[in-house]
Amino acid sequence: MKIVPVDCNYVQESFAASYLLVEEGQDGIRGFFVECNTNHAIPYLKEAALREGITPDRIDGLVITHVHLDHAGGAGVFLQEFPNAKLYAHPRAARHAIDPTKLVASATQVYGEAFMQKMYGTILPCPAERVVVLEDGAEIDWSEAFVRMKTKHVRGHANHHVVVIEPSSRTLFSGDSFGVSYPLIHEKHGVVAIPSTSPTDFDGEAAIESVDWILDQDLNRVGLTHFGFLIGAEIQIAAMQLKDYLKMSIELVNKVRSNGLTESEVYQSIRDWYIEYFDSKGVALDAEDLALMEIDFKVNAQGLVFAASRE
């Protein structure tokens, strides 16, 4: 099994990845994708497949970890461009992929029509007959290439999230359940991971359970959608960082409820904690590092404030 990371060039380089699985099947080489990002990323996915000698008709499937637009916004266009592929998704994500009306309306209300069109394009529905629903623990039987991938529902980031394990390489594709990592920061400092606690489904206890479940698997590497591989001992290091941050996030949610912290105060608390936490581990994050993570601090603050508003 060959696994090829594909940079989707979303927002910036090395921020959102798709993964192309390449395998020699009974009738030749075939491919399968994990994540597709937005409509604008589909040409990058086609180019990656062609570089591996795989024509669009020999891509057998796409699994999306969840239906957030930076992971699955391009699914409808993907199915148009790869005519024999099926879409595999969590039951709740599958419904939105088949009929994205509510998803698009909600995102448009937040971001505005001009921004939506620029970032995501027109989000197309996925034909129901080409969508396969992944119940908890379901396997994806990629029969043409004799590959069987395992899946697991995980909560904490989104209630419609699934992770995928490719057993022959012992690779888990984590979506947003095992945090975010920036290659430029990783190259300078080693593992520096941050969870994604964005709106609207953040659940700190469930997120910690998901991290622990991933940690308990027999893995060689974890493929992060944001961005790249964690390998070997890096998985344990990232898990510790993620759980420490998630525990702090749970405390912040409680402070928002009890003390009425504003979103800007939550943002500042997250940023300060992150700097102090890594400083205590001998990692001095510089201005360039913090600028890369700025979007995470802001979106994570929004998610914690939203979580505090739920009863």
pLDDT tens digits, one per residue of 36-69: 999 999 999 999 999 999 999 999 999 999 999 9
Judge whether residue 275 has pLDDT over 80: yes
What integer is the mean pLDDT of 195-200? 93
Instruction: Using the structure block, give the residue that is written with the tokens 């192309």.
Output: 20
What pLDDT does 108 receive? 87
Q: CB under 8 Å to 306, separation ≥6 — which residues?
A: 199, 200, 202
Domains delineated in the chain? 2-153 (3.60.15.10), 183-309 (no CATH)
Is the pTM of the predicted complex or chain greater than 0.75?
yes
CA–CA separation, 16 and 140 (whole Å): 23
What integer is the mean pLDDT of 266-275? 96
What integer is the mean pLDDT of 95-114? 89
Model confidence at 271, in pLDDT bands (50, 70, 90)? Answer: very high
What integer is the mean pLDDT of 196-202? 93
Q: Is 265 exposed, middle or buried (0-12, 13-18, 19+ CB in 10 A)?
A: middle
Q: Are 22 and 52 in contact (CB under 8 A)?
A: yes
Q: Is 105 exposed, middle or buried (0-12, 13-18, 19+ CB in 10 A)?
A: exposed
Judge whether residue 24 has pLDDT over 90: no
What pLDDT does 295 receive? 93
What pLDDT does 110 receive? 74
Judge whether residue 183 has pLDDT over 80: yes
pLDDT 10s digits, 220-238: 999 999 999 999 999 999 9
Half-sphere exposure of 288 (CA within 13 A, CB side): 8
pLDDT 10s digits, 140-172: 988 666 778 999 999 999 999 999 999 999 999
Judge whether residue 107 has pLDDT over 90: no
CA–CA separation, 257 and 259 (whole Å): 6
| Mean pLDDT computed over every residue of the chain | 95
